[in-house]
Structure 1
Amino acid sequence: MEKILEVNDLHISFFTFSGEVQAIRGVDFHLLKGETLAIVGESGSGKSVTSKAIMRLLPESNSKIKNGEILFEGKDLTKLSDKEMQKIRGQDISMIFQDPMTSLNPTMKIGKQIIEPIVKHQKLSKSAAKRKALDLLNLVGIPNPEIRFNQYPHQFSGGMRQRVVIAIALACNPKILIADEPTTALDVTIQAQILELMKDLQKKIETSIIFITHDLGVVANVADRVAVMYGGKLVEIGTVDEVFYNPQHPYTWGLISSMPTLDTKEEELYAIPGTPPNLLYPPKGDAFAPRNEYAMKIDLEEPPPMFQVSPTHYAATWLLHSDAPKVEPPAEVKRRQIEFQAGGGK
């Protein structure tokens, strides 16, 4: 499959009163046409910063892309002017933000907010744009679109507002849709509906999706591949089955072990000890080493390279080095591996 987006050796810093925060430290990944790539990790791991860098939405006053390239259809987005980026935003690459209430203008009718990008990017007449807006409201599952078209955001529930935000993001048939924690502000039932909607929409409009979340459980149903981020770096990337049922990085082990199941008792739920690193002072070795019960001396001294596990699966852990001791993953990870193999997984 053809790559539509490539991020190569991306380094991003924020300049604060305390000093330089090295938020992204050499991130590499690609997105294929028509696939959904989920980027997961704890708060502060660099997921949203990476997505905003792709859209060039980072504040110019205190942030800087220090190194690397973001190639969209072969064009380096980091080299484009603001005017050139305005043509790409909304038309070629769209974004769904976390909180629909802050994404929508409370003083404008919903219909006008959907029509705006259609008129700007697709140069349609207002009547043609209105027809398309009504079609989009239908597409994202909003009943009575003709009535809803003339209503304001406060007249919609949280789930319906998020559907409107998705309609706006899809208005110009973007080639890439970035969904930044699109279900975090919603309750569990509405969350499931929005995830189902996104799966359904991808089949219909054949867009590529980057799905950002801190919840590994969410991505199992929506993603083709999963990238795990920690401390401003990618620590593991592979297909959903590879990352869920054959994870290699101790951080991924921790994330999977901390996912509750229907059988989990409250006192049994695992929590990764410690806190993420302070990126004002990035660690010399593996950023996860202080929280890693399997850490070796080399983890404190040198950052591990990406080791290849399979043609599609890579992980940055010294445990994959040929000289490393053999370590058994935690019980919950082993249980999932056994279940997967018993079910015919490879």
Structure 2
Amino acid sequence: MERNILKVVNMHVSFKTQTGRITAVRGVSFELNKGETLAIVGESGSGKSVTAKSIMRLLPKHNSEITKGDILYEDRSLLKLSIKKMQEIRGSEISMVFQDPMTSLNPTMKVGKQIMEGLQKHQNLSKTVAHKRALEMMKLVGIPSAEARLEDYPHQFSGGMRQRVVIAMALACNPKVLIADEPTTALDVTIQAQILDLMKDLQQKMDTAIILITHDLGVVANMADRVAVMYAGKIVEQGTLDEIFYNPQHPYTLGLLQSMPKLNEDRSKPLLPILGSPPDLATLGEGCAFAARCPHTMKVCHSFTPQDTVVEDKHTVACWLQDVRTPKEYLPETVVAVNSQ
């Protein structure tokens, strides 16, 4: 059995707002193994990016707090590390690629210097060696005329090329974990495919574990080994790519898949949207957060929060429809028939 490199255990994250404290992440747990890709999917506001920034400890200090749980990297608690030690880990062992590359690049610095900066800080390389390594990374991520382009500023690159520079920066120190937060959302479809292929190629060469945060199930299908589906700050289903795509157990997961167009289906057939809107986390009470939008909602869904139920091996789902504790008289007839087979 492969040992995990990163483990998030029952993490809760809250924010102070004008209307009171809001819990944006509610009991999130998952594991990441060496060399694998875990995709975290869900609608905007489901807590995906907050989860990623919590791992990096990049949440704003003035209004946010990890109130419960732990984050273990190679069996070490990241939450117990000093700020200085955490700064040493960022970039060198755990790196992050953000959605908009311009938020990661300094517009006043040449890109070569920006790549070299991390190498000199984390690996204590000389300027000459760091320059050589930066050039290697620029070539590795497929930037033409790499040596000349080291002297260019971020605004002189296209969006796709800027994202390649950011990936080069993130992987320059050979991190063991790469967190990619919507890395291709701002790019057109052609460039998006190139960036995803680049990430897969670099992962194979460097054996880097990837946490891919996205709302695009097409990206997930091409990249992920395992998938965690988030809704309203909670992971509602988790399993391998095949388990999630071909045997979804949570109504929200099924809704996401049904709302995605498929090439092999009749294009005149309408897509099935998920009706309603995500809940207001400030007023979220007991029960299943998806209950108001779920086509199979039951009385128990509004009163008690569902816990994780093991479907098979590590395929888990938090839904009363699949919980063996749910009395049969509460279940829809179709669900009872399926469960009795």
C-alpha deviation, 1:327, in angstroms: 6.5
* Distance in structure 1 (CA, Å) of the matches to 2:69 and 2:184: 30
* Distance in structure 2 (CA, Å) of the matches to 1:148 and 1:264: 47
- Report which stretch shifted further, 43-52 or 269-278: 269-278
User: What residue identity is the alignment partner of 2:103?
Assistant: T
User: What residue identity is the alignment partner of 1:137?
Assistant: M
Cα pair distance change 1:47/1:19, threshold 3 Å: same
Give the corresponding residue for 2:106. 105
User: What residue identity is the alignment partner of 2:304?
Assistant: E
Counting aligned pairs with the same residue, the percent is 62
C-alpha deviation, 1:222, in angstroms: 0.5
Query: What is the correspondence of 1:1-346 to structure 2 with a 5 Å cutoff?
Result: 1-262=2-263, 263=265, 265=267, 268-322=270-324, 323-324=327-328, 325=331
Unaligned runs of 5+ in 2: 336-341
Are the aligned partners of 1:277 and 1:283 in contact in 2 as well (CA < 8 Å)? no
CA shift digits 1:116-153 (9 cap, x unpaired): 00000000111100110010011111111111111111
Cα pair distance change 1:170/1:234, threshold 3 Å: same
* Distance in structure 2 (CA, Å) of the matches to 1:215 and 1:299: 28
Cα pair distance change 1:264/1:183, threshold 3 Å: farther
User: What residue identity is the alignment partner of 1:269?
Assistant: L
C-alpha deviation, 1:312, in angstroms: 2.1
User: What residue identity is the alignment partner of 1:315?
Assistant: V
C-alpha deviation, 1:230, in angstroms: 0.3
* Distance in structure 2 (CA, Å) of the matches to 1:70 and 1:222: 24
* Distance in structure 1 (CA, Å) of the matches to 2:321 and 2:235: 16
C-alpha deviation, 1:283, in angstroms: 2.6
Are the aligned partners of 1:22 and 1:282 in contact in 2 as well (CA < 8 Å)? no
Cα pair distance change 1:266/1:168, threshold 3 Å: farther
User: What residue identity is the alignment partner of 2:290?
Assistant: F
Give the corresponding residue for 2:339. none
* Distance in structure 2 (CA, Å) of the matches to 1:273 and 1:180: 26
Are the aligned partners of 2:176 and 2:208 in contact in 1 as well (CA < 8 Å)? yes
* Distance in structure 2 (CA, Å) of the matches to 1:249 and 1:157: 40
Residue-pair matches, total: 329
* Distance in structure 2 (CA, Å) of the matches to 1:327 and 1:278: 31
C-alpha deviation, 1:266, in angstroms: 6.8
* Distance in structure 2 (CA, Å) of the matches to 1:134 and 1:328: 60
CA shift digits 1:151-197 (9 cap, x unpaired): 11111110000000000000110010000000001011111111111
* Distance in structure 1 (CA, Å) of the matches to 2:269 and 2:224: 30
Are the aligned partners of 2:296 and 2:332 in contact in 1 as well (CA < 8 Å)? no
User: What residue identity is the alignment partner of 1:59?
Assistant: P
CA shift digits 1:249-299 (9 cap, x unpaired): 000000000101234547712211111111112231000000001011100
* Distance in structure 2 (CA, Å) of the matches to 1:20 and 1:279: 10
User: What residue identity is the alignment partner of 1:313?
Assistant: H
Cα pair distance change 1:2/1:126, threshold 3 Å: same
* Distance in structure 2 (CA, Å) of the matches to 1:46 and 1:266: 34
- 1:199 aligned counterpart, secondary structure: helix
- 1:270 aligned counterpart, secondary structure: coil
C-alpha deviation, 1:232, in angstroms: 0.5
Unaligned runs of 5+ in 1: 330-346
CA shift digits 1:17-70 (9 cap, x unpaired): 111111011111111111100000000000000000000000000001101000
Are the aligned partners of 1:319 and 1:327 in contact in 2 as well (CA < 8 Å)? no
* Distance in structure 2 (CA, Å) of the matches to 1:115 and 1:3: 30
CA shift digits 1:170-228 (9 cap, x unpaired): 01100100000000010111111111111111100001100000111211110100000
* Distance in structure 2 (CA, Å) of the matches to 1:135 and 1:165: 14
Give the corresponding residue for 1:340. none
- 1:318 aligned counterpart, secondary structure: coil
* Distance in structure 1 (CA, Å) of the matches to 2:61 and 2:104: 20
CA shift digits 1:322-345 (9 cap, x unpaired): 34436769xxxxxxxxxxxxxxxx
Are the aligned partners of 2:10 and 2:29 in contact in 1 as well (CA < 8 Å)? yes
* Distance in structure 2 (CA, Å) of the matches to 1:327 and 1:132: 63
- Report which stretch shifted further, 270-279 or 248-257: 270-279
Runs of 4+ in 1 over 6 A off after TM superposition: none
